[in-house]
A and B are shown apart, each in its own frame.
Chain A
């Protein structure tokens, strides 16, 4: 099966600084990589995703990069704000026909005002 590793497990940044979270995956056939944000006591919600035919995708302050050769992908948040504080999960999906996601273990991001 697929194995997704995520680092760091906790990350603290000053408001306005950038935050980077990194994930690696084991199955070279994986072709879809979403990122979910989970605020305290809430459900995970998709914030950005990338497919294997694209190297980078950006949405305002959030960007994701993918290196297929190295089998790693990263989430970049610029100009962080206190409302960015949450747990972030990366995930990978293999082209098996089922939309099964394999999640990393999460990164707790704290943005210090």
Chain B
């Protein structure tokens, strides 16, 4: 089954404790992206990747890191999480190019205390 998976689905952590949210897709997509969703703000792009070893900042990259060492995986790293990073995070993937359908993962709900 073609899908985007994320882990963990729920995470409670404390300020400053490094964490990684994994994202994996099995559709051989070149493009992958991370979004955060906050009430009243919609979905905002954090980072994106157009292919292996090619990553770039989105609209809200501060406090986040990403890597793309393999085509299928695009982990999101919070080196020192803060309470303002409490949010719902979605990974998405698509084939390259504007107008290609983006497929979203199930989401990761993060609470930083």
A interface residue numbers (CB < 8 A to B) = 1, 6, 9, 31-32, 34, 42-46, 49, 51, 89, 93-106
Contacts and interface: CB of A to CB of B under 8 A. Distances in A.
Contacts of B101: 34, 46, 49
B67 interface: no
A44 B104 contact: yes
Nearest to A89: B42
A103 B43 contact: yes
Closest 6 CB pairs of A and B: A43-B104, A103-B42, A32-B99, A105-B42, A103-B43, A99-B31
6 contacts: A9-B40, A43-B106, A97-B97, A98-B31, A99-B31, A99-B97
Contacts of A99: 31, 33, 94, 96-100, 102
A34 B100 CA distance: 10
Interface range for B: 20 to 34
A6 B42 CA distance: 10
B31 A43 contact: no
B99 A100 contact: no
B56 interface: yes
Contacts of B66: none
Contacts of B58: 100
Contacts of B40: 9, 105
Contacts of B98: 31-32, 93-99
Interface in B80-103: 90, 94, 96-102
Contacts of B33: 99-100
B43 A44 contact: yes
B61 to A, nearest CB: 13
A51 B99 contact: yes
Given A99-B99, A103-B43, 15 more contacts: A9-B40, A31-B99, A32-B98, A34-B102, A42-B106, A43-B90, A49-B101, A89-B42, A89-B43, A98-B48, A98-B98, A101-B45, A102-B45, A102-B59, A103-B35
A100 B94 contact: no
Residue with the greatest number of chain A CB neighbours at <10 A, chosen from B59, B97, B98 = B98
Contact of A45 (B59, B94, B104): B104
